[in-house]
Structure 1
Amino acid sequence: MKNYFLTVFAPDGSSLLDETVQASSDQEAKELGHKKLDEQGYTEHTHRLVAPEGHMVLFHR
């Protein structure tokens, strides 16, 4: 399992959510990230999900 980092931003740039998502692949992390965003009502906020290697798996502006 790898640790992916999910961050949600407010319009002023401050962080609303910083969570770690554990997944075995980028695709699984993306699915889990979408699920967390839906559950917490942050789907339309600016967010990103970053892999431990540094590349973005999910981004919404």
Structure 2
Amino acid sequence: MKHYFLTVFDKFGEKLLDETFEASNNDEAKEIGRKRIDEEGYSEYTHRCVSPEAKLVLFHR
């Protein structure tokens, strides 16, 4: 399992959510990240999910 990083920002650049989670691959991380963002109601905020290799697997602006 790899550690992925999920971050959500408001329109002023302040972090609303900053957490890590484990997933076995980038596709699974993308689904976990989307689900977590939807649970918190942040789907319309700028967000990103980054792999341990610094690859962007999920992004919304």
Q: Answer whether TM exceeds 0.5 for this pair.
A: yes
Once the two structures are superposed, the pairs formed by residues 1-61 of structure 1 within 5 Å of their partners are 1-61=1-61
Structure 2 length as normaliser, TM-score?
0.97
Corresponding pairs, count: 61
SS at match of 1:21: strand
Q: Return structure 1 stretches of 4+ with deviation > 6 angstroms.
A: none
- For structure 2, the residue ranges without an aligned partner over 5 or more in a row are none
RMSD of Structure 2 on Structure 1 (CA)? 0.4
Question: Amino acid of the residue matched to residue 34 of structure 1?
Answer: R
Q: Measure the CA separation in 2 of the matches of 1:21 and 1:56.
A: 15
Q: Measure the CA separation in 1 of the matches of 2:27 and 2:55.
A: 13
Superposed displacement of residue 21, structure 1: 1.7
SS at match of 1:12: coil
Q: How many percent of aligned residue pairs carry the same amino acid?
A: 62
Residues 4-59 of structure 1: per-residue CA shift (max 9 Å, x gap): 00000010001000011210000000000000001000011000000000110000
Structure 1 length as normaliser, TM-score?
0.97
Question: Amino acid of the residue matched to residue 11 of structure 2?
Answer: P
SS at match of 2:34: helix
